[in-house]
Amino acid sequence: MIETLGRHKFATNIGTCEIEWTEAGISRFRLPDASRATGALKIGATDPNDLPLYIAEALTLTRASLNGARTDLSKLKLDLSYAPAFNRRVYDLVLTIPFGQTMTYGEVAREVGAPGGAQAVGRAMADNKIPLIVPCHRVLAADGKMHGFSAPGGVASKRKLLEIEGAIEPEPPTLFDFIDGPTTR
């Protein structure tokens, strides 16, 4: 594993995200917990003026993506050295799933040459340290449901990302939304 060179926390419309990088590229991306308040993490760690150009680009693109802009994050410089070969194949394929579209775990497994390997794909998705950029939220169960998401907020975060992309319809408001005001779903 390559040494982490920097870490930066930054505000987005869904809360505070965090990005880490090595000499090879982006090595971690942390989404905010969709069930927590927006300001849960403190901004800081690296001076924004000292960010490598590719990290500044990643911040711009991820903010745009989280605002619903059709962005392509697949060309960002990534450090996937932590991942075993199978996971890298899965991540390479998942990076090609277009904004606002989804695939099933089984479809991904077939595409990477592992028919019947849906559970292995699920494990690879759970090991993804760069969610959103490696868009594991775009991979669903065979029944179209969202079973598990290892990023903060779990399935609620996955649902929110897919709603932002227009891949699924927003959940209808509940009685509590009217009583408590808008939620961060």
Does residue 17 carry a catalytic annotation? no
| Backbone region of residue 66 per phi and psi (left: phi > 0; alpha: psi in -120 to 50; beta: other values) | alpha
Other C-beta atoms lying within 10 Å of the C-beta of residue 172: 6
pLDDT in tens, 62-105: 999 999 999 999 999 999 999 999 999 999 999 999 999 999 99
Q: Stretch 164-178: mean pLDDT, rounded? A: 79
| Between 50 and 15, residue with greater pLDDT | 15
User: Is the CB of residue 80 less than 8 Å from the CB of residue 51?
Assistant: no
The tokens for 96 are 């090609």
181: its two tokens: 């005001």
**Which pLDDT tens digit goes with each residue over 20-30?**
999 999 999 99
Confidence of residue 180 (pLDDT cuts 50, 70, 90): low
Q: Which residues contact 175 (CB under 8 A, 6 or more apart)?
A: none
Identify the active-site residue in 19, 31, 61, 136: 136
Lowest mean pLDDT among 119-128, 138-147, 171-180: 171-180
Distance of CA 125 to the CA centre of its chain: 10
